[in-house]
Structures are given as structure tokens and as C-alpha cells.
Amino acid sequence: MGLRSIIKNTIKNHLHNKKKSLYQKNPDIFDNEYLVISQKSHKWINRTNSNLKKIVIPSNWSENITYIKNDNIPKLSWCAKIYNGKTIINYGQDVIKHGNGIFEGVWDGEFNNLNYIDANHVFGSGITEFDKNIIFTPPSHMYECIFCVYEKKTTSILFSNSLSFILSLVEYNNLLDLVEKVRVNNDKLTSAGVLDFDPLLYDDENITIYGFYYHNISISQNEIKILLRENITKFNNYNEYYSYLSSTIEKLITNGSDKNRVVDYTAISTISKGYDSPAVSSILNNLGEFKAVTIDVDVYGVNDSGNEIANILNMPCYQCQHPLGNSISNLGEIEYPEDFIEHINEFIATTGLGDDLVFLAFDKFLSNKLIFTGALGDIIWDANENPTPYGIPVRIPFGKSLNEYRLRKGFTHIPLPVIGAVFPRYIYRINFLHEMDDYNICSNYNRPIPRRMIEESGVCRQLFAKSKNATNPNPINLKKFKNEAFLRQIAKYSFIQ
């Protein structure tokens, strides 16, 4: 070991021990900080709602909704159009239609109660008519949102869980410029966290585009506003946290498989040789008999298949091929081949980088599934990074290009680390408790919480998390194909009036 490495490790150990001493002696150390953040969040929501008053509600507003099932759009997509005294909603064939709304996905509550607007954890999106208001519910994470467009000339307002669907219904000038500005502003938005983001994504003389994350949005004849949802959960130790994750997963699975659903969902997990997805698979496996999928690929000469780990868990695992090949020398700077683009338009026509095309590896296993992944584990579970207090941010551009593919295939994505993580420092503190000593390692790649989950499931530490690896590509020629990809995706949508 060189001198530089020795110095780095010495500093790292010092900081770790300092945090360990601080957090063990002060179990309520973050409580005051949470109160400050809560006060700031209420000011933020008031400021944001004040800005939303720029949207002019049509004078002939009506909360009466016409619902139209549209079999010609992706099966989980929907769009609401408010104009000329009408509110018309189109929804795909697998979207749930109930007495006073629609929903796609699952939530941690009884399905028959249809109480997703009050749920702590929502994976999917929906609309509810309530007390002369229309309430829109987005997912409880920052990988997907509900888009809103305000048309200034007609004072029409549109909401949708698809950016392409909403763009198919409005006038715009330069499509490439528009979607690039939306992408850049969306990255800024998601990095702020669920308690401090600016929903404005784009503005010109014709339209304004917003991205609403996590919190319910209410619209009435008087105003449109975000309804603040904090849902803070405090964990005193690892077992409390693990139990919370397990019980929430059980509720989600029960909701998805309810006999009263038109389409029921079964759970499946992704698994690799890293930290996060093996941890997720180990929790799922402790709750019942579930299957996993993995990508059998060599990246930078290292194989990332989680099949061996799945075998130890006695978990059936399907090994799949990476869409870009069996052996990839450099995913960090890769060019998508031109003859490949037509197969991945729906990943490019998003707010992301098109990197989620890796899900094509699992294509035949995804329909009508709850897909549990370890996405965002790098933010929530990393002991070396002090997390933002503003709640489950996405601070990198990756992982944001799954939405259009998901809506077409008909599955729900559940990035498990976001559960209970609205104020993630309560989770972060667990890393430094005495009970976690055996799971802390002196490394830049140190995630004691998922390590404990995996090792307590019988997997030895030599089999996972030796080094950081990734299967998501970072394409360097994406902009070349973006305009055409959006045009093709927009053409898939039609609105019935």
C-alpha cells in the first residue's frame, strides 16, 4: 500500500470513528435538524404554490371528469386535459379505473380502500376526484414524475405520466431545444430532493412545463397547488429499519396481487455482484419464494452476474444477456450504433440518458411485474457520504430513462432504498452504531446496511461488493438521435376527446 493510500485510509478511519462516537452518544442528534428542514419545507411549499398561481384556471372550470379507456396508447399511460369547461382523461388498458379516479401501480395499503393519496409509499401514479378537487398522485421517488403543461393562449392544462404523451397535445417551437432544457432542468430539480425542488422545467411564449415529484398536486376552480407530504420515519437501530422495509414490501406485494385487480402483479428482483440489488433480493427472499434476474456480462473484464449469490439464497435466477453484448470494454464512453437506435427510442425520449436500455435484457420477464431494484442505494446506504437532509434526491443523470418503456411493458419499478428515506439521515446514523461494527470496512465502497442484509442471508463477503461496477451505459452520441426518438415516441400517442 502506497503512502497516499495510507494517508487516505487514516483520514477515513478518523472521520468514521468521529461520526461513530457522535451518533452513538446522541441518538436524537438529527431531530433538531429535521425540525429546521420541516420549517424550511413549509416555506418552500408556500413559495412554490405562490409561483403556481401564474397558471390561470379556466373560468368555466368543471371538476366533472369524462374517463375514456384508450387501447391505442401504452397500457399504463394516462393524460388529463382540462379545457373549455371539460376535464377529459385518457387511460391505457391496464390502468385501474375506480369510482372516483384511476391508478397505475401499487401502494402500501389495502387495495380495496383505494387510499393511495394518503399512502406513505406509492409506486406508480393516479388521479382522484375529491371534494370538488382533482388530486394527482406521483410516485414516492424522484426517477419519475407527473408532467404538467400550461398552454398560455388557450389556458388549457394537461397532466400526464408521460412527457411524450403531453407533447403530442401541445404546440412547441424547437423540439430538440425543448427536451434538452427539460432534461437539464430536471437534473437540477431531482438533485434538490423531495423537500426543496423547483418544479419548473421549461417556459416559452406558448407553454410552461412542470415536473411534479413525490407530493400530491391538487387543482380546483381557484388554484393549483402542491400538497406537502413529509412522511418522516425515525429508526433507532438496524432491526427497526429492516422490519420497516420488510413490512412495507409485504404491503406492496399484497396490494399488487389483490384478487380484485384486473391485472395482478407478481414480484421479481434484479441481482448483481454489488451491494444494493443483492440486499434487496435477500430481503425479498426472506418473505417468500420469488425469482431474480441478472445480467451475465463482463464489464472492464469483470463479470457482474449475481447468479452465484442467487443460488446461495436458493432463489431461482434467470441469466440474461446485456443488450450491448456479452463483453463490454468501456461503458463510460460508448456510442450507440445507428442500427440499434430504432429499438431504444422509448429510452431516449425521456428526461434521462437512455441508459436504462439495460432493462431490455429482462424484457420477457417484465410484464405485470413489481420490479424491486437497489436503485438509489448509492445515496441512501453509503456510509462515506453524508446524505442531503432534503430527502431521496437523484443527484446523477442515470436511471431516469425507464418511464416510457415501463408504461408500454406494464410493470412497476420499486427502487427499494427510497422506502423510509424522506429524511435519510435517520438511516445514515445506523451505519455508525456498535451493532454495525462487523459490517463496516475501510473502503471507498462501504455500505454496512446492505452488507449486513446480504451476509445475514448466508452470502460470504468474498462474493459481492469487491469493487464498484455498473451495467448502465453512458452514451456519448445521444443528442444525435434525441429529436428523432421523441418524434417517434410522440407519434405513439393519440388522445380521444
Domains recognised in the chain with CATH numbers: 46-230 (3.60.20), 238-483 (3.40.50)
Which residue type sits at 111? F
Q: Is the dihedral of CA 165, 169, 170, 172 positive or negative?
A: positive
Which residue type sits at 116? Y
CB 248 within 8 A of CB 223: no
Cα separation of 494 and 108, whole Å? 32
| Residue 189 grid coordinates | 430539480
CB 126 within 8 A of CB 143: no
- Say what the pLDDT of residue 216 is: 98
| Structure-model confidence comparison of residues 236 and 298, the more confident one | 236
Count of residues in the chain: 497
Which residue type sits at 23? Y
Q: Do the bridges between strand 122-130 and strand 369-373 make them parallel or antiparallel, or are there none, so unpaired?
A: unpaired
122-149 mean pLDDT: 96
CB 121 within 8 A of CB 107: yes
Residue 59: pLDDT band with limits 50, 70, 90? confident
- Say what the pLDDT of residue 13 is: 66
Give the residue among 111, 117, 130 at the shortest CA–CA distance from 220: 130
In this model, does residue 6 exceed pLDDT 60? no
Residue 81: pLDDT band with limits 50, 70, 90? very high
Give the residue among 465, 415, 437, 453 at the shortest CA–CA distance from 275: 465
396-409 mean pLDDT: 95
Cα separation of 248 and 245, whole Å? 5
351-378 mean pLDDT: 95
153-160 mean pLDDT: 94
- Say what the pLDDT of residue 12 is: 63
Chain-centroid distance of CA 281 in Å reads 18
| Residue 260 grid coordinates | 380484485
In this model, does residue 1 exceed pLDDT 60? no
Give the residue among 101, 144, 187 at the shortest CA–CA distance from 414: 144
67-96 mean pLDDT: 96
- Say what the pLDDT of residue 455 is: 97
Residue 210: pLDDT band with limits 50, 70, 90? very high
* Contacts with 367 (C-beta within 8 Å, 6 or more apart), sequence order: 409, 410, 411
DSSP run (H or E) holding 182: helix 175-191
- Say what the pLDDT of residue 20 is: 72
What is the chain's mean pLDDT, rounded? 91
Residue 338: pLDDT band with limits 50, 70, 90? confident
Q: Is the dihedral of CA 216, 222, 223, 226 positive or negative?
A: negative
For residue 407, give the 3-state DSSP assignment. Answer: helix
* Per-residue model confidence as pLDDT tens digits over 442-476: 788 899 999 999 999 999 999 998 877 767 888 88
In this model, does residue 191 exceed pLDDT 60? yes
Question: Number of C-alpha atoms within 13 angstroms, CB side, residue 227?
Answer: 15
Give the residue among 191, 160, 166 at the shortest CA–CA distance from 178: 166
In this model, does residue 337 exceed pLDDT 70? yes
153-180 mean pLDDT: 95
Q: What is the pTM of this model?
A: 0.94
Cα separation of 92 and 409, whole Å? 12
Residue 8: pLDDT band with limits 50, 70, 90? low
252-272 mean pLDDT: 95
- Say what the pLDDT of residue 433 is: 93
- Say what the pLDDT of residue 14 is: 60
- Say what the pLDDT of residue 373 is: 97
In this model, does residue 254 exceed pLDDT 90? yes
In this model, does residue 2 exceed pLDDT 70? no
Cα separation of 79 and 56, whole Å? 19
Cα separation of 400 and 79, whole Å? 20
